[in-house]
Amino acid sequence: MGNQIDPVRLTQDLVRCESVTPVEGGALALLEKELTALGFACRRLTFSDEGTPDVENLYARIGTAAPNICFAGHTDVVPPGNADDWIAPPFSGEIRDGRLYGRGSSDMKSGVACFAAAAARFLEARGTDFGGSISFLITGDEEGPAINGTVKVLDWMADEGETIDACIVGEPTNPEFLGQMMKIGRRGSFTGYLTVHGTQGHSAYPHLADNPIHRLVRMLEPLTAGVLDDGTEHFQPSTVAIVTVDTGNPATNVIPAKTSATFNARFNDLHTAESLEAKFREMFDAVGGRYDFRVECTSNAFVTEPGPLSDAVAAAVKEVTGKEPELSTSGGTSDARFIRKFCPVVEFGIVGQTMHKTDEHVTVSDIEALTGIYEAALGKFFDAAKA
């Protein structure tokens, strides 16, 4: 018998590592130990940037041949909030009634544990001469600013001549039950910061002032519809939400000199950050007056067209669960937005109903099933590569 990993036990051990971003908390060290015992060559990578905390990351690989299929994920977690509100201590990994509780159990330490266990089972069944390579790209900066994590690991890999040919991101993708959904892309995220300027004055004499709030309301009115288009083949309609409106005016008899609003758009492949900025400026210009508009875009929309990678994962899901997963691009952003520039990428992971919530948990049965899905996906991926 070769080295084996119990995915439930490893999930518990990872949850017990208090790895709140950017603290490593022992999680990467634990994973490195497990993968080294399987024969993986491991590299711990610490990256820095001005104004951000240093972050530790892990890249591990077994095999030297192509294709190299990579599992990407993170061991950092969001803060647990008030521990007294939890049914079990948030870093206990305690199992109650078939549920494993703890911060990061869903997002996404169970996914990391499942893939490690799947790799161990795959290697025991096929040995190390399986016709390719398996690698792990695990960051400690997914829940944070995402500056010293996956992006810099990928840059390091490019400098080292380290190539990945396909990637599975283990984020929780299933809304209600395992096997329900796989992500083949993600919408882009665009944030607009709008400040409208006017002329301050007495509210009893509005004709002597220029009320910026009135113009701001008219500028924002087209956004209140909430959608920007009708969607595309792989994407739902682009959405926009006004998230804050701020004037900071404590006086009831003063028209303010300026007011501001912030809105966020989640957009499909009909748009880019540049086209959205132009679209919004055209809306604002139609109202007129002086305004400032600043934008941020963390990611443009992307999609990995269905192909060998998604076929392998979908077939594995069907084999283990009997369900055919929906190929979706819904939800927020993930580190897949960086990886897609290097290779085809899909996301499949545990049920995510409780991620970031008090009493975050996963079922033990789903941990076992997800391990089986990942093991089957590895087999189907390499079998297809040989065909």
Shared domain for 45 and 173, answered yes or no, is yes
Give the mean model confidence (pLDDT) for residues 320-324. 98
Question: What CATH number is given to the structural domain containing 252?
Answer: 3.30.70.360
Per-residue pLDDT tens over the stretch 107-126: 999 999 999 999 999 999 99
- Return mean pLDDT, the chain: 96
Flag whether 171 is marked binding.
Answer: yes
Number of domains in the chain: 2
Euclidean distance between CA atoms 197 and 175, whole angstroms: 43
- Domain boundary residue among 279, 299, 319? 299
Decide if 2 is inside a domain: no
Q: How many angstroms separate the CA atoms of 150 and 341, rounded? A: 12
Domain containing 104: what range?
A: 7-186+302-386
Burial class (CB in 10 A: 0-12, 13-18, 19+), 38: buried
**Antiparallel, parallel or unpaired: β 254-255 and 201-202:** antiparallel
Instruction: Give the end of a domain, one of 299, 318, 343.
Output: 299
pLDDT of residue 182: 97
* Radius of gyration (C-alpha) of the chain in whole angstroms: 24
Model confidence over 214-272: pLDDT tens digits? 999 999 999 999 999 999 999 999 999 999 999 999 999 999 999 999 999 999 999 99
Q: Which of 316, 328, 324, 313 is nearest to 177 (CA)?
A: 324
Specify whether 293 is located in the same domain as 310.
Answer: no
CA neighbours closer than 13 Å in the CB half-sphere of residue 269:
12
Q: Is residue 214 part of a domain?
A: yes
- pLDDT value at position 333? 83
Cβ contact 93:80 at 8 Å:
no
CATH (domain of 379): 3.40.630.10
Picking from 255, 280, 299, the residue at the C-terminal end of a domain is 299
Do 35 and 180 share a domain, yes or no? yes
Sequence-distant (6+) residues with CB within 8 A of 46 are 54, 55, 56, 57
Ligand-binding site membership of 356 (annotated): yes
Least confident of 32-36, 142-146, 276-280, 330-334: 330-334
Q: Are 200 and 255 in contact (CB under 8 A)?
A: yes
Whole-angstrom distance, CA of residue 85 vs CA of residue 132: 47
Q: Kindly list the catalytic residues.
A: 76, 142
All residues at 6 or more sequence positions from 300 whose CB lies less than 8 Å from its CB, including other chains: 188, 272, 273
Burial readout 11-31 (b: 16 or more C-beta within 10 A, e: otherwise):
bbbbbbbbbbbbbbbebbebb
- Report yes or no on 128 lying in a domain: yes
Nearest-5° angle of CA 374, CA 21, CA 188? 65
The arithmetic mean of pLDDT across residues 7-22, rounded, is 98
- 178 lies in the same domain as 324: yes
Greater pLDDT, 331 or 99: 99
Q: What is the mean pLDDT of residues 164-178?
A: 97
pLDDT over 70 (residue 2): no
Enter the tokens of residue 101. Answer: 């509780």
Q: Name the token pair of 203.
A: 């509210």
Lowest mean pLDDT among 18-22, 144-148, 179-183: 144-148
pLDDT per position as a tens digit, 65-92: 999 999 999 999 999 999 999 999 999 9
Q: Does 143 show up as a binding residue in the annotation? A: yes
- Examine residue 1 and state whether it is found in any structural domain, yes or no: no
Determine if residue 74 is labeled as part of a ligand binding site. yes
pLDDT band at 331 (very low <50, low <70, confident <90, very high): confident
Question: Is 181 found in the same domain as 39?
Answer: yes
Q: How far is the C-alpha of 30 from the C-alpha of 46, rounded, in Å?
A: 16
Query: Letter for the amino acid at 237?
Result: P
40 shares its domain with 122:
yes
Q: Are the beta carbons of 222 and 283 closer than 8 angstroms?
A: yes
In angstroms, rounded to a whole number, what is the distance separating the alpha carbons of residues 270 and 72? 28
The pLDDT of residue 1 is above 70: no
